[in-house]
Chains A and B, each alone.
Chain A
Amino acid sequence: MKKTSVENSTNKKAILELKGVGKYFGGLRAVDNINLSVKKGDLHCLIGPNGAGKSTIFKMIMGVYKPTSGSILFENNAITNKRTWDRVKLGLSIKMQIPGVYGDLTAYENMKIAAQNFYKRREMNNKIMELFDLLEITNLKSKIVNNLSHGQQQWLEIGMALACKPKMLLLDEPAAGLGPEETNYTSDLIRKLNDKGLTILFIDHDMDFVKNIAKSATVLHLGNKFAEGTVDEIASNQKVIDIYLGK
C-alpha cells in the first residue's frame, strides 16, 4: 500500500474511524482488515473496481452488516454493535446506490418521513422547504416519486438523507446513471454541502467525477486498502491505473 502525505497533513479530528474492519461471507473475504479515518469536514472518496468492497464498507458503517472483525468508531464512540437507527440518530446518514425512495408517495411525503424523527412538527415544514430550495427541486414537491427521473430521485434521496440532521453523509455512487448536466449539478451540490461544513464520504467509479470534487481518496481492491492520498496522487499512481485497466 502506498503511504502518502494526506494521513498526516491535517490536524482535524477524525469523525469516523474503521479499525481493522473485515467482513467475510463464508469463505469470501469481501473486506479484509481495513483501517480508514475520515476527518471532520472532509470530502473523501472510496474508489475501486467492482467487488472491491466499497458498498460492503458502507453497509457496515450503517449497521446493515455486522463486521466479522474490527471496530467502527463515530466521534470516538464505538458503534460496531449499535443498530442502524441508533447510528442515524448519532448523525450518520446515507444515500443508497439504488434510490431508496418511496415511489408511491409524493416528494414532500418522502421528505416528511425522513424529517419527522429529527424535527418538531412546527419547524419540520420550514426545514423541508429549505431542503427543497437547497436542492432546487421545490417544483417537484407534490409529484409522485415514481414519476420523477432517476436524477431527481437521487437528489430527493440526498435531501432525505440531509433531513436526518447528519454530521456525516455517506453517498453511494451519487452520479450513477446521470447525464453530464445532472452529474455537474450533483458535483456542485456535494461541494456546496461540504463547504457548509458537512463531512462527506462517497463511493464512485468515475475518476473524472472524483477528481472534480473529492479532497482525498482511498482506493480499495479485492477487499483491501490499495492506496490512499490526495486525488491527484491517486490519479497519477501507476498501480491504481493498472487495477482500473485490469492489468
Chain B
Amino acid sequence: MVQGKIKTENIVAALIFFFLFICPLFIDSYSVLNISYFLSMAFLSLSLTLIWGYCGIFSFGQAVFFGIGGYFYAVLTLNLTGTSAITPLGLLLGVILGGLAAWILGYFMFYGGVNDVFVGLITLCLTLVLSTFMGQTAGSAWNIGQVSLGGFNGINGIPALELGPISLSGNNFYYFVLIILFVIYCLLKLFTHSKVGAAIVAIRENRERTKMFGYNVPKIQSLVFAAGGALASLSGILYATWGNYITPSAFALSSATIPVVLVAAGGRKNFTASIIFTVLYYWFAQGLSASGSQYALVILGLILILVTLFVPDGIIVFLFHLSDRLFFHRESKMKEVQEEHLHEKNIG
C-alpha cells in the first residue's frame, strides 16, 4: 500500500539479489569481502529508511546504535572467547540491545512530545557525546573485564562470527550477510503492506490526525524507532566482525551524517533505492580510496545538493518512476480506463 507498485523496482531488486547471489562465482575473494562490507552498511541505511522515510522520524542517531552494537559485540565476545556459540549470541544480544536502547530513547522523546527537527537535534547531540566519550577511554581505567575500550584506537582483534564449526569469513560471511539482508528486505517490504505499515505512513503524513483515528502514535513511533535501532546495531556488529575492529569514529559526525545523505539522495521512502545507493556509494568510495576517499564525500555532497534541487524524492526512485512511465505506463493506463468503465457500468 501507499507507495504504489513500482514495477521497475521489483524487477531491479530481483536482478540485483540474483547477481549478488551468483557473483562470488566469478569475482575474486577480495572483491567479495568488499561487497560484504557494502552490504553490512546497507542495514544502517535500511534503518533510516524505515524510521525517516516511512515513519517521518528524522534521526542523526543511527550511528549511536551502530556503535553500541559494534562495541557490545566486541566487549562480550573478547571477554568470553572460547565459550561455545558466543559470537552468534553476541550478535543476537547486540541487536536486542540496540533495539532496547533506541526504544528507551524513543519512549522519552515521543511520549514527551518531542518530534520533527528536535529528534534530529537530540540524536545528533547523543552521537557527539558518545563520540567524545569513547575517544577518552584510553588507559586501564576503561577496561570492561579483560577488554580495554582503547580510546581513539578502539578495540582490535574482534572475533569473526562462528556458526557451530563454520567460521564466517570470506565467502561464508558474504553469504551470511546477503541472506540476512534478503530476509530483512523481504520482511520490511511485507511490513509496509501490513496494518502497522499503513499506520506509520499515516503518522508520517499527519501525526496529530492519526491519533484521532485511534492510533497510539507515541507507542508506534517508539517501536519503529526501536526496530531502526536494532537494524543499525546489526549493521555495527557486522561491520565490527568484517574488519575485526571498532573505533569511536563509528560515532563521529561523518558517520552520523553519511547514512542520512545516502538515504536522502537514493530515495528515503524506498528500501530498494536505499540499498542500491548505499552499495554504490561505498563501492565508489572504496574505488577512490587509493587517491583519498574524502573525494567520495565531496562528490556525495554535490549529488545531494543536485538531487534536493531537481529530484527531491531521490535519484534512484526518480529512475524507477521514469522507467515505469516509459515501459509500464500504457498497461497501467489501460487498467485505469477499464476500472472506470466497470464502475460506470455498475452505476448504470
Contacts and interface: CB of A to CB of B under 8 A. Distances in A.
B206 A100 contact: yes
B211 A96 contact: no
27 contacts: A64-B208, A83-B216, A84-B212, A85-B214, A85-B217, A93-B212, A96-B209, A96-B212, A100-B209, A102-B202, A102-B205, A102-B206, A104-B2, A104-B205, A105-B1, A105-B2, A105-B205, A109-B1, A109-B2, A109-B198, A113-B213, A114-B213, A116-B199, A117-B213, A138-B343, A139-B347, A142-B336
Contacts of A112: 1, 198
B116 interface: no
Contact of A88 (B199, B214, B336): B214
Which residue of B206, B213, B216 has the most chain A CB atoms within 10 A of its CB atom?
A: B213
A115 B166 CA distance: 49
B245 interface: no
Given A88-B212, A102-B205, 18 more contacts: A83-B211, A85-B216, A88-B211, A88-B214, A89-B214, A93-B212, A94-B212, A96-B209, A102-B206, A104-B2, A105-B2, A109-B1, A109-B2, A112-B1, A113-B198, A117-B214, A118-B214, A138-B347
A203 interface: no
Nearest to A121: B195
Interface string A128-146: 0000000000110010000
A81 to B, nearest CB: 15
A193 to B, nearest CB: 18
B339 to A, nearest CB: 6
Q: How large is the interface on A (under 10, 10 to 19, 20 to 34, 35 or more residues)?
A: 20 to 34
Interface string A87-127: 01100011010001011110001001110111000000000
B199 A139 contact: no
B198 A116 contact: yes
Contacts of B201: 102, 105
Interface string B1-35: 11000000000000000000000000000000000
A31 to B, nearest CB: 19
A158 interface: no
Interface of A: 62, 64, 83-85, 88-89, 93-94, 96, 100, 102-105, 109, 112-114, 116-118, 138-139, 142, 160, 164
A104 B195 CA distance: 18
A93 B339 CA distance: 32
B283 interface: no
B216 A113 contact: no
Contacts of A64: 208
Contacts of B205: 102-105
Interface in B191-241: 195, 198-199, 201-202, 205-206, 208-217
Given A102-B205, A138-B343, A116 B195 contact: yes
A85 B29 CA distance: 54
Interface of B: 1-2, 195, 198-199, 201-202, 205-206, 208-217, 336, 339, 343, 347
A232 B164 CA distance: 84
A116 B214 CA distance: 10
A103 B202 CA distance: 10
Nearest to B269: A104
Contacts of A114: 213
A116 B197 CA distance: 12
B212 A113 contact: no
Which residue of B195, B199, B339, B347 has the most chain A CB atoms within 10 A of its CB atom?
A: B195
Contacts of A89: 214
Nearest to B216: A85
Nearest to B195: A116
Contacts of B347: 138-139
A62 B212 contact: yes
Contacts of B195: 116
A164 B215 CA distance: 11
A117 B215 CA distance: 8
Which residue of A64, A103, A109, A160 has the most chain B CB atoms within 10 A of its CB atom?
A: A109
Contacts of A85: 211-212, 214-217
Contacts of A103: 205
Nearest to A100: B209
Nearest to B213: A114
B125 to A, nearest CB: 28
Contacts of B215: 85, 117
Which residue of B201, B209, B214 has the most chain A CB atoms within 10 A of its CB atom?
A: B214
B208 to A, nearest CB: 7
B212 A100 contact: yes
A142 B332 CA distance: 13
A109 B202 CA distance: 10
B213 A164 contact: yes
A118 B347 CA distance: 28
